[in-house]
Amino acid sequence: MKKCGMKLAQMVVGIFFFLGSVSMASTPISDEPFAPDEHAHGEVTLHVATDSRTMPDGSSALKTIMEALDSARPLLAAGRGVRILIHPGMYKETLVFDVTGESDLLRDTPLTIEGAGDGVLISGLSPEVFDAEWKPVPGQTDIYMEDWPYPFHLYEGPWTGMKRPLPGLAARSEMLYRLSGKPLQPRALEKFLWEGGKDGHWVFKGMNALSVLERPDTFAVALSPDAPGAWRGKVFVRTAPGAGVESLRDIVLPRRLWDGSKTGRLAHFAGKNHLTLRNLTFQHAGTHLLGMALMVQDGGHILIEDCRMINNAGAGLRLHQNRKVMVRRVVCAGNGYNGIGGNSREVVFEDVDLVSNNWRSSHAGWRNWDSAGVKFGGGSRDVVFRRCSAVNNADHGFWNDVYVHNILYESCVAWGNAGHGFFLELTGLDAESNRVERSVSAFNGAGVNISSVRKAAVRDSVLYRNKRAQVILSEWANRKPTTAEAIDTLEIRGTHMEADGGSPLLMMTGALARNGEKIAPALLFSGNHYIAAPGRAPFDVSGKPLDFAGWRNWLKGNGAKAPQDLDSSWLGSESSEWTPGKLKAHAEEILGRPVPGL
């Protein structure tokens, strides 16, 4: 990519994608091309620039992207394709293009929005200068305060009916940035608790000490009417030791993108078919945690390529109820919540990098609940992640959940994520297989977690030194499929699994482990290579440790089908072919580019 310090070697990829070449039994994605038709009769090019330049054709460039989008509407409605060519610069504007319910011609005529070279930044920063007069806080060292100009809100999130309101810092939406683009880290100065269940409200419970600003470039605000008068309506920032007030001159504010009733979005496209977004950077979206930089919904034949979603307060990209989407050569990095989220059908992600996301949700304690490098669910079907990476995210790397069908991770890398590298969770009883193939999961909280899934497979992959376990097989008692009888196939084949220290290779929990005679016939374990620390019983079945021989006896004794690991190998740690350096090189080979963030 051209930004984020990640120069990605671009693979030569055709514009049309098919799934017929994938060598596994599954329902293929339609042979119909995914990519939008970018050309239409009488196509018009609209130029956008931050200055009043004259274009070679004698036309004047428009000054805002929204002006170009408004100009495109009547052209599209007349069947004339539109290409909006945006020249380099920072555009501090919110984009909304909603054609839901409009004419088929307007919805289906191609629209391309493209950056004309490097440096097209769609920014959530305020166009007004934050002319702060920072003052030292009495009795504090390296902490300064100033009036906070915006009436931001607390957001409870959509899960109050499940008694899961967003906690503390996750409910807040204030953000600060430096001109370099680096976000300051928010901290919770005020204490709020949610009271009253699903119809409840936030209740102010007092103040934390300013010691919550534990390191430089942390900040906090006090906005509650019940906050102490000397603190109310103030923002507090800690500087580096001795840096002084001059170090705060480059702090800037994002715009308030959320009015308390809707999810905040920096750019929102709805109802548009044959839409292309290319070579654009979306950054500094000042939303609450569940807001996002770019939202694309209810469309078809969508292409998003060579784009970047970086340093946003919430998520980077959200896809909602689309069909036939291609996302390629995209970087989602440094976002406070998910790099990518949503649900859609017939989607291909190629050469996408998800790096160092979820930092804001993690600090708030909002983990293992909708938070990941990518979280794709809600009935998503026929989705491929190919040559994608999830690196150093503060929660799971790749996560699919909630009645998903036919999800494939092919030649992907999950490395150094705080949660599971790959989390395959909750399919319907009629679901096709979810698979991880020819991939790497290393140094994560766990390698692969398969939970409440009817069919799943890990094939020809490397699971290396993940902390909790290399593979977790689990069931939730309140979810379907909830019984061992509902599981069709759980396959681990041709995979290298290596643990160090006291972590197991495989951990089986819940209904699976308690119903061995029912689940064992659904297991297909073959051709694997197992390596664990000496003296460790590396198979954990409901807390019962088993060595390799004990594991094979458990499979055989519970009616597992042959060969069931009879053709797998058990090796000592000295026999491993992998080192972290060799594995990194292998990861770069399957991605076709350097692993970002390493």
Per residue in 70-81, pLDDT (tens digit) is 999 999 999 999
Q: How confident is the model at residue 1 (pLDDT cuts 50, 70, 90)?
A: very low
Cα–Cα distance, 385 to 383 (Å, whole number): 7
Residue 5 pLDDT > 80, yes or no?
no
Instruction: Name the residue with higher pLDDT: 459 or 573.
Output: 459
The answer to whether residue 385 is domain-embedded is: yes
261 contacts 154 by C-beta, under 8 angstroms = no
Amino acid at site 12: V
Do residues 508 and 390 share a domain? Answer: yes
- Quick count: other Cβ atoms within 10 Å of Cβ 229? 6
58 by Cβ neighbours in 10 Å (0-12 / 13-18 / 19+) ranks as exposed
Are 530 and 539 contacting, i.e. CB atoms less than 8 angstroms apart? no
- The whole-chain average pLDDT of the chain stands at 87
Q: What is the mean pLDDT of residues 482-493?
A: 76
Residue span of the structural domain in which 348 resides: 336-591
Residues facing residue 281 across a β-bridge = 121, 308
Kindly state whether residues 569 and 474 are assigned to the same domain: yes
The yes-or-no verdict on residue 17 having pLDDT over 50 is no
Residue 159: inside a domain: yes
pLDDT of residue 476: 61
Q: How confident is the model at residue 447 (pLDDT cuts 50, 70, 90)?
A: very high
Are both 427 and 553 inside the same structural domain?
yes
User: CA angle, corner 480, sides to 479 and 481, nearest 5?
Assistant: 130
347 and 237 in a single domain? The answer is: no
Q: Does 372 lie in the same domain as 246?
A: no
Provide long-range contacts, Cβ within 8 A and 24+ apart, for 399-402: 399/372, 399/373, 399/374, 399/375, 399/423, 399/425, 400/375, 400/376, 400/424, 400/425, 400/434, 401/375, 401/376, 401/377, 401/425, 401/426, 402/343, 402/377, 402/378, 402/426
Model confidence at 4: pLDDT above 70:
no
Structure confidence by residue, pLDDT tens digits, 400-437: 988 888 999 999 999 999 999 999 988 766 667 899 99
Q: What is the mean pLDDT of residues 462-479?
A: 85
> What span, in angstroms and rounded, lies between the C-alpha atoms of 214 and 177?
18
Instruction: Output the six-digit token pair for 446.
Output: 């766990």
Among 229, 252, 275, the domain boundary falls at 252
pLDDT at 32 over 70: no
pLDDT band (50, 70, 90) for residue 485: low
H-helix or E-strand containing 360? helix 359-363
Number of domains in the chain: 2
Tell whether 298 is covered by a domain.
no
Phi, psi of 503 (to 5 degrees): -80, 145
Which pLDDT score, from 0 to 100, does residue 40 have? 63
Beta strands in 159-216 (DSSP E): 177-178, 185-186, 190-195, 201-207
Instruction: Say whether both 221 and 354 belong to one domain.
Output: no
Q: Once rounded to an integer, what is the mean pLDDT over residues 359-371?
A: 91
Residues 510, 373 share a domain: yes
Better pLDDT: 478 or 121: 121
- One domain for residues 572 and 432: yes
pLDDT at 214: 96
pLDDT digits (tens, 9 = 90+) for 331-340: 999 999 999 9
* pLDDT above 70 (res 455): yes
Q: Indicate the residue among 234, 252, 270 that finishes a domain.
A: 252
Q: Which residue has the higher pLDDT, 17 or 75?
A: 75
* Interatomic CA distance for residues 221 and 290, integer angstroms: 19
> Does 66 reside within a domain?
no
Looking at the structure, tell me whether residues 239 and 341 fall in a common domain. no
Higher-confidence residue of 198 and 598: namely 598
Is the distance from CB of 165 to CB of 200 less than 8 angstroms? yes
Which of 252, 278, 313 terminates a domain? The answer is: 252
Higher pLDDT, 296 or 365: 296
Report the candidate in 176, 168, 84 with the shortest Cα–Cα distance to residue 130: 176
Any domain includes 483: yes
Range in 206-210, 451-455, 473-477, 566-570 the model is least confident about: 473-477
Shared domain for 369 and 517, answered yes or no, is: yes
Q: Which residue has the tokens 């906690």?
A: 167
pLDDT at 483 (0 to 100): 53
Q: Are residues 364 and 493 in the same domain?
A: yes
First-to-last CA distance in the chain? Answer: 16
Residues 431 and 540 both lie in one domain: yes
* 168 domain-assigned: yes
Residues 40 and 81: beta-carbon distance below 8 Å: yes
493 — pLDDT class (breaks 50, 70, 90): very high
What token pair was written down for 449? 């977690």
In a domain, 312, yes or no: no
Residue 406 maps to a domain = yes
Q: How far is CA 199 from CA 154, 167, 196, 261, in A?
A: 15, 16, 6, 15
Residue 561 CB coordination number (10 Å)? 13
